[in-house]
Every structure is written in structure tokens, then in C-alpha cells.
Amino acid sequence: MQSCRSCRRLRSFIRASENVRLFLSGWKFFFLALMGVLSACGNGDTLESFGGPTMGSTYSIKYVRHAGLPAPDEVRVKVEQILADIDRQMSTYRSDSDIERFNQLPANHCQKMPAPVLELVRVGEQLAVQSDGSYDLTVEPLLNLWGFGPQARGEKIPTAEALAEARKRVGHQHLRIEGDRLCKDAAVEVDFDSIAAGYAVDTIAASLEAMGIHDYLAEATGELKASGKKPDGSPWRIALEEPRDDQQVAERIITVDGYGVSTSGDYRNYFEQGGRRFSHTFDALTGAPVSHTLASVTVIHPSVLMADGLSTLLLILGPQRGWDYAEKHDVGAFFVIRADTGFVTRSNHAFERLSGKKTE
């Protein structure tokens, strides 16, 4: 979508226990300290942990295994089946996925789609309307043209003619849902990059809950949801890091119970030309990368799917329009803004209210 999934995510580290600290840089976890993946308490509960590759990035699951709960191998099978299903339905990097087969259709055609795909199209339409079209699921031709998409042929500033041609194939208004079919009246291409991982985490969290697992931290490509507590009774703590490459500095530490967290940033995937930086985050209205001073946005929301999409939307809108949107729609948001002396941060009341609060 507006951003490259494998590169766009926050640099943050997640303290899942006192003994394990994971550092998330763009799209992968780096083990800074590993003194035991399992941490035990006197009551016999253990912190189980596993992970693997997904969506060109990684996923990680941690859960407290109380008596009678399933072993990690059993949980892993269910989690990886969920991820495989989503990949088969939504990946733009495999020609046989449901969405990629739709993308190859010409204008004025429809295709039967699985329910999750239609759900994400509806969410994308909602966000597009609320952002006056700046957020759009159909920007893949622009991503490819500028050198960021799955069919990109090198990073470059496109000509005005090429940009005008690509924009003919962009626009959420060209999509419609008819029953269980997705239809288009122009040769648009759908990219779920900004919301698929959030949907995956929501689905995984629901599966964990169905298995009786209520104390967990589930993460995919940087989108995460935490519920309950660690074996020692302390909350899950998440450190949001400054958007910089030279050193690891925690900007803010939050506790989360029952909420999803997503961060979008413009600093992990870009190219420079003529003294200008061109980010992978696009405004569909202009057809070009954003050029404001907002470096990253973290959103807290009960739905990781919505947190995922909203963090991208706010990043596109920028430091003022994004702030106004968050205030109008009561979106918990934490902004990191570039300044002459480094970074300044700004969080709204909704963010302060939600960080550390348990859902009812």
C-alpha cells in the first residue's frame, strides 16, 4: 500500500520478560540479550516463545503457559496456518494469491474473494473516505513507478508523463463489492501492505484466546497485541524508539493490556536524489512521497488491523493534519516529529488514556 511492509516499521524493542529483550529494526528482531527463552515462576507457569518468517519479515509469539494450556508446537501449527492462509489470499509477491489474480484482471471485471479480503477492502475504503483520498489501497502503480513496489525497476523520480499515466490506475472509487465478489471499473491494483499484518495479529490473538491463552504478546512485522501479564504478574512493556539509525534510544515506554500497537515511519525505506529524500510513504492525492516533518506515528487501538491502517494514514497526513484527524476520531496517537535539534514528541489524551489501560 502506501508503504513497503518489509521496511516501513518502527524501530522499537519489546521487553517480553526480564530475561529476554528483543529489538525490532524495520522488519526483523535482533536478539540483544538471550539468557533463556523460557522464564519460570514459582507457580509453575512458563513463558513460551516461538517465531519465524512471514510477509517478507518475521513474527513472534510469547504466551504464559498455565496448567492445561497447549504446548508451543501445537500453538505454532495454528499460528502458521493463519499466516499461510493470509499469504495465499493477500500477498502481492506471489502470482497465485487471490489479490494478485484480481490485480491482473483488466477493467470491468469481478472475482470471487474470501471474506477476509473483502473485510480489508471495506476497511481500506473507510480510511480512504476519512482521509479524503490520501490513504488508498490502490497505490501499487505509484509504488512500482517510484521504485518501492513488488514490480519496481529501480528507485527514480518519474517523469510527469509517467506519473500521470500511473495515476489513471489509482483510486479507491474504482473498487466495489458485489456479494462475495470484488469488482473494478479501471485497471487498479490492490495492495494490503498497510493493514494485512494488523489483520494477521488480530486473527492470531483470537485463535490464542480460543485455545484458552489470555496472557500473550503476539507480533507480526512489527504490529503487535498484548494481553494479560507476564508470569511474574508484571505487564507487557513496550519501548518505542527514536526513528534513527545511529543508535538505539528509547523515546517512550508504555504498558499494554488488551490493545494493539502499530508504528509507521518514513525513515527505513527511502532514496535520495538531487539533495532530496524520497520516502516510501505515499499520498494518493499527489501521487508522490510525503514531504513533511513527521518521522513516525504510533497508534494504540483495540483492533490491530485499525491501528495498522491508522498509523499509516496519520503518517501520510503529516504532523498537523494527522494530529487533527487523531483528535477528531479519538485515535490514540504518539507523534515523533523532526526538528532542527533532533526530534520532538507529541501524544494526545487518547494515547495517554490507552497506554496501560485494560479493555473492558
Binding residues: 194, 308, 312
From residue 244, give the alpha-carbon distance in Å to each of 26, 66, 118, 220, 342.
Answer: 11, 39, 36, 21, 10
Q: Which residues does the annotation place in the binding site for Mg(2+)?
A: 194, 308, 312
Q: Are 227 and 214 in contact (CB under 8 A)?
A: yes
- Report the distance separating Cα 27 and Cα 55, nearest Å: 10
Nearest in space to 62 (alpha carbons), one of 244, 277, 213: 213
- How far apart, in whole angstroms, are the C-alpha atoms of residue 207 and residue 212? 9
Which of 26, 25, 30, 22 has the alpha carbon at shortest distance from 5? 26
The secondary structure of residue 17, as a DSSP letter, is S
CA 339, chain centre distance (Å): 25
State the burial class of residue 11 (Cβ atoms within 10 Å of its Cβ: 0-12, 13-18, 19+): buried
- Which of 176-180's residues contact partners 24+ apart within 8 Å by CB, and which partners? 177/118, 177/121, 177/122, 178/110, 180/112, 180/113, 180/115, 180/118
Say which residues have a Cβ less than 8 Å from residue 331's Cβ, sequence separation at least 6: 299, 301, 310, 314, 325, 348, 350
Q: What's the gap between Cα 121 and its chain centre? A: 16
